[in-house]
Each structure stands twice: as structure tokens, then as C-alpha cells.
Structure 1
């Protein structure tokens, strides 16, 4: 499905203005793309959420919307854009990115537009932790962390890109509102070490649903170490397919569709 089939508009909030693609009917889900940008496999995932009865909002935060993934494109996206832009914090533990304020504003807007019990949000890779930090916005009731890969420093010690205040708010809401956080990764992924999921499990306890896929379940012939659970390396069959099934089911349950 081409992006030309999605409605495009600019959204302003939290000190930033960014383009957002929207499609579908029903309660809202914000799909926050991975490196290198809003590529075709992210769009395909958004389409599957639309087919499952949701209104999908896909912001473009970096890269060229619709451009296919290549190794060179991914490297340029990381080194030439993301690491030096003020809206992202990629190095330090216990600190979320400034763009999360914009995403919270988008969640409020999406909830006001689409209604329902709240909004779902999924971050991927570079943006994987954003969905947890977004929980300071009351509209966000279904956060999914797909291969959360930031911050860079302290990854093997369990660093996360969420501030102590944001974590405290999330923990309080998870208990008070009977919510959970879904986390997805491939075992052995060097960008999402065991310690990061262990930290999330220690912080969120039984409110964190961790899904760790076996590398051999990954979609074959990509020439890359398995990493992108819901997009580039999405398993099309076998036990690994459960990651997407669980994600869509998680959104449907929390958003009142199940």
C-alpha cells in the first residue's frame, strides 16, 4: 500500500511540527518508525493495524517517507541526522527525547479525534522506548516497545531512555489503571541486550510482558542480524509470528476492540 493512500497533514505540539500520515477508522494507534525512516515495511505494519479496526497515525520523524531500506541509507540516517538533532537524546540513561513531548501532544489529539478508551503507541528500535515515556499522557493506555535500542551508553548495564519521573508515572498508572507494557525483541540482539529487558522487568515487574523471539524465527535472506521484530525481520510463519499477533491483540484488547 502506497503512502499516497494515506491522508497527510502537519501536526504542531510540544515545540515541534512534523508530518503525520493517517488512515483507518476506530481507536487510534501511533506507529513511531525505526531507522532509517518511515520505510515500506513500517507502512505495511500500519496497514495491518488498519485492517484490524484501528485509526493509525504514522509520524515521519527522520528519513524519507516511503523510501526502501538499504544499509547505506540506515547509516546515513543514524550518523547524518539523528545523533546531532536536538529533538533526540541518544546517549544518556534516565533521559527521554524532547520529541516525546510532541508525541504526547499527538496522542492527545488522536484520542480527541478518534475517541475510545485511549491510544496505543508502538516505538521501534531508535524510538522503541518512546512509547513508555509517553505514558505521562493519560490518553496512552497501550504502549509497545519493539526492540528498544536507546540509549547507546550503558546498554549492557540496562540503560533506558525514560526519566525517573516518567517511570514513576508509568508504574503508578500501570497499577491504578490495570495496564501493561508489551516488549518485543530477538534473543541475542546486540542493540537490545538482556540487561535492558531485565531492567524493564525489574522496574515494571509483572506489568511488563516480555516477548523474546529466537533468531532462527526471523524472516530469511535479509543479510542482516535479526533485529526489527515487526517489520524487516518479521517472521511470516512459525512461533515468531506470535509477536505481531500478540501486538495486534494487545492493541485490540486495550482499545476496546476485542
Structure 2
């Protein structure tokens, strides 16, 4: 499965207390793809490859897990337990505070913008990192946030089901920037997904209004061989054999969202 990593270079990036490897490829405006549990697995690379093929420079930070390792139940459980019980850079319970690793991601966004140029940087978080793209809006370089099945805070209890897992200051900054800079935010989930509950999307609609575009898919459109419930829109539960299906359409909508938001002059160079 390490074949999925072919064509990528990597560098070590340190900021503050955290240091992580970052994989990258492509040319054009930067998009940061923040992986899900259990780690930077081959289906995350598949999605990133399609972004690169569409004309973006993709940056894939490896936050936990083993890059290139395929998803399995045991691997996912071990990774999940490690994140919630051991890793200090992740806060999976707080309803009104983002995880400490977000500051590292903001710094990575600044570097990516400096390297790739253009109007700004796109960012998409997945599952446990889904809300990171929202919190990253305090970095001016981030202009296109996408939240794929945002699962933090863990939806235990009514208040957490509706919470966004960002601080009041981060929320206020995102609202102001989307309004004043005429930006948009994208959210994706499967209907019936208990990890990205509907109450959370209702909060996003209430806070951001028409600036927030929700893509909510029928779970019957998910990859039938994948575990239930349907959750990972762009990776594990994307039905790749049906190019006209809902999940592939959602993938194309994400690419179109970044293309519209990050369009830049043709003389802007990217990293190859």
C-alpha cells in the first residue's frame, strides 16, 4: 500500500512544541489535507492525488499513525486510543477550545502560502481533525476551509453534539473573515452519522448562514464493503467504482470549491 505515496517528497516541519513530517506534491495553490483516524492512509493519499491532478500543491502533515499503512479495525482502534488518552496536542472533549496542534497547522499554512503564492491556502480536516480547518481561520493565509465529517468534540451529550470545538475567539474571527473577505466554508457528512451529528451542522448554519455550504449524503451511497455506519465521505466510504454516484460528486464539489476559492494568476508558481 506504500505505492500510494509515490510521487511525494517530504520535509520535517517544527513549530513551537511540535514537529511532524509533511508530505507534498503538485504545483499551484496550496491545499492542506489533514488526515483522519488511523493516520495518513492510502485513501487519504488517493484524495490528495486528485487534488494535485486538479492543479493544486497538496500538503499532507502526518499527525499520528504510520504514513502509507492501510486502514484496519485494530489499527484504527489503537490510533484512536492513543489520540484520546496520550497525545497532549489533541483535545477531543472540549466544546469551546481547539486542539493545541492547530497552532502548528497555522504555521504550516503560512509556509505553504509563502512557497506556493496565490490568493491563499485551502484546508480540509477529516473526522477528528474536521474542525481544525475552522480553527485555522485565525491565520490570514487560510481562505478556504472545508470540514469533512467534523467529529470533535466527541458527541457525548447534547451540548457536545452541537458544539464546534473551537474557542469563542476563533469562531468570531472566522465569522468576521468570511463576511468581510467574502469567503465560503464547506461541510460534508453522511446523514445518520453519529460521529458528525446533525446538531453540529445546525450550529454551523446558525453561526455562518449562507457562508456555510453543507453537503449531506445518503448513507446508501457509501462504499458497500466499508464498515458501518457511513462516515468518511472522501476516503473509506467513497464509492470509487461509481463515478456518477453521490460520493464521487461530493469529491468533485470539494475540488471545485478549492478551485474557485484559490484561483490565482497563471504566473504563480508551485512546488513540484
After TM superposition, is the score higher than 0.5?
Answer: yes
Please state whether the residue corresponding to 2:98 is helix, strand or coil: coil
| Equivalent residues of 2:148, 2:188 under 8 A apart | yes
Q: What residue number does 2:8 align with? A: 6
- TM-score, structure 1 length as denominator? 0.96
| Unaligned segments of structure 1, at least 5 residues | none
Cα deviation, 1:54-107, whole Å, max 9, x if unaligned, reads 000000000000000001100000113443211001001011000000000000
The one of 6, 16, 19 aligned to 2:18: 16
Please say which of residues 74-83 and 188-197 is displaced more in the overlay. Answer: 74-83
**Aligned partner (choices 188, 204, 211) of residue 207 of structure 1:** 211
User: Contact (CA 8 Å) 1:29, 1:57: kept in 2 or not?
Assistant: yes
8 Å contact kept, 1:14–1:99: no
In structure 2, C-alpha distance between the alignment counterparts of 1:254 and 1:9, rounded to whole Å: 26
Q: Deviations over 1:197-224 (max 9, x none)?
A: 0011111111110110000110111133
Aligned to 2:54: 52
Tell me if structure 1 keeps the 8 A contact 2:13–2:22. yes
> What is the aligned partner in structure 1 of residue 269 from structure 2?
none
Contact 2:155 2:195 in 1 (8 A): no
Is the 8 Å Cα contact of residues 187 and 213 (structure 1) preserved in structure 2?
Answer: yes
The equivalent residue for 1:162 is 166
How many residue pairs end up in the alignment? 258
Higher mean C-alpha deviation, range 233-242 or range 195-204: 233-242
Distance in 1, matches of 2:82 and 2:107, equals: 27
Taking structure 1 as reference, are residues 14 and 182 closer, same or farther at Cα in structure 2, changes over 3 Å only?
Answer: farther
Coordinate RMSD, CA, aligned? 1.4
- 2:154 is matched with 152
Q: Distance in 1 between matches of 2:21 and 2:67?
A: 10
In 2, Cα distance between equivalents of 1:205 and 1:217 = 27
Which of 70, 86, 98 pairs up with 1:96?
A: 98
Contact 2:24–2:58 (CA<8 Å) still a contact in 1?
yes
Work out whether 1:254 is the aligned partner of 2:232. Answer: no
Aligned mate of 1:41, from 40, 43, 46:
43
Q: 1:240 aligns with which of 236, 244, 247?
A: 247
Structure 2 distance, partners of 1:83, 1:60, is 19
The alignment's TM-score, normalised by the length of structure 2, stands at 0.92
CA distance in 1, matches of 2:82, 2:197: 25
Conserved 8 A contact 1:121-1:143: yes
Partner of 1:224: 228
User: How much does 1:159 deviate?
Assistant: 1.5
Contact 2:155 2:197 (8 Å CA) reproduced: no
Aligned-residue offset at 1:155: 5.8
The structural deviation recorded for 1:16 is 1.2
Deviations 1:99-123 (A, max 9, x none): 0000000000000000000000000
Q: CA deviation at 1:23?
A: 0.3
Residue segments in structure 2 that go unaligned for 5+ positions in a row: 266-272
For the 8 Å contact 1:145–1:184, the answer to whether it is kept is yes
Deviation, structure 1 residue 166: 0.2
Q: Residues 83 and 90 of structure 1 are in contact (CA less than 8 Å); yes or no, is this contact kept in structure 2?
A: no
Q: Secondary structure at the match of 2:189?
A: strand
The match for 1:181 among 174, 181, 185 is 185
